[in-house]
Amino acid sequence: MRLVKVIERLLAAIPIMLGVAVIVFVFMRMTPGDPVDIMMGQGGTVSEGEVERLRSEFNLDKPIHVQLGLFLSDLARGDLGNSFTKQQPVASLIGERLPATIELAFGSLFIGLLIAFPIGILSAVKQNSLLDRLSMGAAFLGISMPSFWLGIILILIFSVKLHWLPVQGRIDYDAGLQTVTGLYMLDSILTGNGPALISSLKHLILPSIALGSAVAAIVARVLRSSLLEILRSDYVKLARAKGAGETTVVMKHAVRNALIPTVTVVGLQVGVLLGGNMIVETVFSWPGLGRLVVEAIFNRDFPLVQGAVMVYAFIFVAANLVVDVLYTYLNPKIEM
């Protein structure tokens, strides 16, 4: 039964993905000048015949609905076109950069949750205490702080002043890491390269904090408020009345149930992580998808921008799908 529901949700995501692709296509068409004009603007001298050839290569000589159809069918085959500036398929360029972005996203999520859980739980248990007030104040600050600024402050303190952590990049040049998955920390473990593991971990810390702090702030607030509600509920009172210890009550009865709304919020935070990664990758010169896109925008490399925006949206839809499924598994009340 559950499997059927999961498949149903998967199918429901297809029209959304299709719509995403159409929106991106429409935006691309709204851009002043067609791609060939833009390529010419890059400074190349191209003959009239060459222009015609390029126009037909990009299908620009066909009616707009045919162009959309071709675009979608290419997309379905995983063909995102070729980059203007790098003369390579967009899909492979994105594929190369994706592991770095995924590693950063996981690092940020890990740090975000690592901060959020103890703070959220403690603030709820000790409601209105000094600790509660301070941490909720900090959460407000976390939500109000732009990640690029936090990144710069972290660099100033931990790299420039204290020299504890590196300013930029993913790993030291002399780490000698053999890449397997492209996720450097995982690769270091897989190849048993200790120094590379330490180096990649050191590089990952600051960007993950810069990106993860907003997640931490939001998740801590949601966890606290849902815990507060649950701690006042009858079944928690019952558990207490039956003589369960406070730790058991909180950890076993309350937190488990508070996870349900929290997971939903974490899913929405994936969007924040994806958007924020463009910014944080720029601040820390992290060689991921975000930086690739920012560079592509300045080079007016539209196929690359368009492909990346679509990949971002797809990841976001997929992440929320995962959350949806997780949610139904966490909540026994929902018969999927």
Partner 1 sequence: MTTSTDIRTQPAWRYLLDIRLRLWRRNLADFWAELRKHPVALIAGVVILIYILAALFAPQITAHDPERGSLRQRLIPPAWEEGGSWTYPLGTDGQGRDIYTRILFGARVSLAVGLLSVGISVIIGLALGAAAGYYRGRLDSILSRFADLLMAFPFLIFAIGVMAFMGPGFTNLILALTFKGWVEFFRLARGEVMAEKTREYVEAARVSGQSHTRIMLSEITPNIMQSIFVLATLRMGFMIVTEASLSFLGLGIQPPTPAWGSMVADGRNTLLNAWWVSTIPGLAIVFLVLAINLFGEGLRDILDPRLKIE
Residues that bind partner 1 (CB under 8 A): 16-17, 19-20, 23-24, 27-28, 30-32, 140-141, 143-149, 152-153, 155-156, 160, 218, 221-222, 225, 261, 265, 270-272, 274-276, 278-279, 282-283, 293-294, 296-298, 302, 305-306, 309, 312-313, 316-317
Residue 186 or 330 with smaller CB distance to partner 1: 330
Q: Give the shortest CB-314-to-partner 1 separation in angstroms.
A: 9
91 contacts 79 by C-beta, under 8 angstroms: yes
Q: Which sign, positive or negative, has the C-alpha torsion 328, 329, 330, 332?
A: positive
Please state the closest distance from residue 194 (CB atom) to partner 1, in A. 31
Q: Which of 272, 221, 226 lies closest to 109, judged by CA?
A: 272
Two tokens at 223? Answer: 């966890």
* CA separation for the pair 91, 153 (Å, rounded): 35
User: Minimum CB separation from partner 1 for residue 283, in Å?
Assistant: 8
Taking the CA of residue 200 as centre, how many other CA atoms within 13 Å lie in the half-sphere pointing to its CB?
22
85 phi, psi to nearest 5 deg: -90, -30
Cβ pair 112, 212 in contact under 8 A = yes
Of 189 and 321, nearer to partner 1 (C-beta) is 321
Beta-bridge partners for 54: none
d(CA 109, CA 126): 25
Ordered alpha helix ranges (H), the chain: 2-30, 35-41, 48-57, 64-76, 90-125, 130-144, 147-154, 184-190, 194-231, 234-241, 246-248, 256-283, 289-298, 302-330
> CB–CB of 168/156 below 8 Å?
no
Which CB sits closer to partner 1, 37 or 52?
37
Closest CB to partner 1 among residues 25, 184 = 25
Smallest separation (angstroms) from partner 1 to the CB of 316: 5
Pick the closer one to partner 1 by CB: 152 or 186. Answer: 152
Residue 27 or 235 having the CB closest to partner 1: 27
CA 51 to CA 37: how far, in whole Å? 9
Q: ∠42-43-47 over CA atoms, to 5°?
A: 110
Structure tokens that stand for 277 in this block: 């990664």
Residue 60 vs 272, nearer CB to partner 1 = 272
Q: Which is nearer to partner 1, 98 or 270 (CB)?
A: 270
